[in-house]
Copies of this chain bind each other. A is one copy, B any other.
Amino acid sequence: MKALVYNGPRDVSVSQVPDPGIDRPGDAVIQVTRTNICGSDLHMYEGRTDIEPGRVLGHETMGQVVETGPAVEQLRPGDMVTVPFNVACGFCPNCERGLTSYCLTANPDPHGAGAAYGVAGMGPWSGGQAEYLKIPWADFNALPLPEDAEEKQNDYVMLPDIFPTGYHATEMADVTPGDTVVIYGAGPVGLMAAYSALIKGAAHVMVVDRHPDRLALAQKIGAIPIDDSKASPVDQVLARTNGLGADAGCECVGYQAHDPAGHEHPNQTLNELVGSVKYTGNIGVVGNYPPTDPGGADELAKHGEIAFDYGSFWTKGQHMGTGQCPVKTYDQQLRDLIHTGKATPSFVISHQLPLDQAPQGYRHFDNRDNGWTKVTLSPAG
């Protein structure tokens, strides 16, 4: 089959790779009908991780079941499903508690770092930017879709990662109706966090970024765009909250945060969040921060450390939740919102490309070229 293969820094190609098959009784194989390029794919694309050349990327995948192993009970060929980016066994102590993003079985790292399809350091699982994808423990790792699956593919394809991940940020930030929320990052995940906060009844949602196309999308869904290239985002948030700060904050940028002049500061958005959120407020962090970053800007960063404004964080009595989203915790209810027409997360898609054009999609998205907000691929044509 054809698949998007990582060859080296900023070098990906659509190549022939072996078809996946049923290796274990619980496996299923789907034909991929939609699969997105994710901001976290760019960490690998840019060579900031130790992903091996030859790996197939892609962890935002949906498609149609074509084959199932003998232990699979819930899925049948022809079923349309989305595939949570986390690979999870369903029976380890973490999965039992719903922490599928920290499955203790699916990653050879025995300590609980979790697994994903086609991601550096997250197990051997091949990615979904391909014609076919193998799903292990398939009854547990596929979400059945209703009858409008085909028609709403561009919405449902947000369920494997960015819609739940944005939603997770608002859960960790404890967003409730009437809240004022600030979100750092108007990339696809930040937009999904803003969208989730609005779905939950937030009164004011501010989104901090500097790219005009992204800020425009934030405004389009009812959020307040904050351009941090114009003035301090902390000052702008405080000015809109009587000097008190937002009730809740979400980090949707990660360690490659950079200032408007383009310099990388891994502590930037975290310290700005501490300053932007009120005393007693909660902060949810879904942007990625790796334990070490050999390509980091300085000695602290190389060791995964940041100069964190901890004194203010503690004095303000803030709480912070972190980590990969356990997609299965949220994807049923978000699916139902799409099915009933209450949510249309496809608004974030700027480009729908055939699989063959995936390399161009990577290049434009990595450049943050104006208008390239989110790319979805259609491997099935």
A29 within 8 A of B: no
- Point out the residues of chain B lying under 8 angstroms from A319, CB to CB: 172, 319-322
Instruction: Using A113-B279, A305-B307 as known contacts, say yes or no to A322 and B332 having CB atoms under 8 A apart.
Output: no
Closest CB-CB distance, A30 to chain B, in whole Å?
Answer: 16
Closest CB-CB distance, A123 to chain B, in whole Å?
Answer: 14
Closest CB-CB distance, A285 to chain B, in whole Å?
Answer: 6
A318 within 8 A of B: yes
Q: How far is the CA of A70 from the CA of B278 in the complex (A)?
A: 32
A201 within 8 A of B: yes
Q: How far is the CA of A300 from the CA of B311 in the complex (A)?
A: 10
Task: Tell whether, in the assembled complex, residue A340 and residue B204 are in contact, meaning their CB atoms are under 8 Å apart.
Answer: yes
Question: A308 touches which one: B114, B204, B290, B305 (CB < 8 A)?
Answer: B305
Closest CB-CB distance, A352 to chain B, in whole Å?
Answer: 26
A110 within 8 A of B: yes
Q: How far is the CA of A267 from the CA of B308 in the complex (A)?
A: 10
A26 (CB) vs chain B CBs: closest residue: B71
- Point out the residues of chain B lying under 8 angstroms from A313, CB to CB: 289, 322
Against B, the Cβ 8 Å flags (1 = close, 0 = not) of A27-62 are 000000000000000000000000000000000000
A350 within 8 A of B: no
A324 within 8 A of B: yes
Q: Main secondary structure on chain A at its contact with chain B? A: loop
A309 within 8 A of B: yes
Closest CB-CB distance, A119 to chain B, in whole Å?
Answer: 13
Q: How far is the CA of A303 from the CA of B303 in the complex (A)?
A: 21
Task: Tell whether, in the assembled complex, residue A342 and residue B203 are in contact, meaning their CB atoms are under 8 Å apart.
Answer: yes
Task: Tell whether, in the assembled complex, residue B340 and residue A91 are in contact, meaning their CB atoms are under 8 Å apart.
Answer: no
Q: How far is the CA of A71 from the CA of B281 in the complex (A)?
A: 30
Closest CB-CB distance, A343 to chain B, in whole Å?
Answer: 8
Task: Tell whether, in the assembled complex, residue A333 and residue B89 are in contact, meaning their CB atoms are under 8 Å apart.
Answer: no
A74 within 8 A of B: yes
Instruction: Using A99-B280, A102-B280, A243-B110 as known contacts, say yes or no to A71 and B24 having CB atoms under 8 A apart.
Output: yes
A367 within 8 A of B: no
Closest CB-CB distance, A291 to chain B, in whole Å?
Answer: 4
Closest CB-CB distance, A308 to chain B, in whole Å?
Answer: 4
Task: Tell whether, in the assembled complex, residue B91 and residue A90 are in contact, meaning their CB atoms are under 8 Å apart.
Answer: yes
List 13 A–B pairs whose Cβ atoms lie within 8 Å, in order of A's numbering: A24-B71, A73-B89, A94-B279, A112-B278, A176-B333, A180-B336, A201-B342, A267-B310, A289-B313, A290-B311, A300-B307, A305-B311, A306-B307
Minimum-distance CB pairs A-B, first 5: A317-B323, A304-B311, A178-B333, A112-B279, A71-B71
B-binding residues in A (CB < 8 A): 24-26, 69-71, 73-74, 89-94, 96-99, 101-102, 105, 110-114, 139-140, 172, 176-180, 196, 199-201, 203-204, 243-244, 255, 266-267, 270, 278-280, 285, 288-293, 300, 303-324, 328, 332-337, 339-340, 342
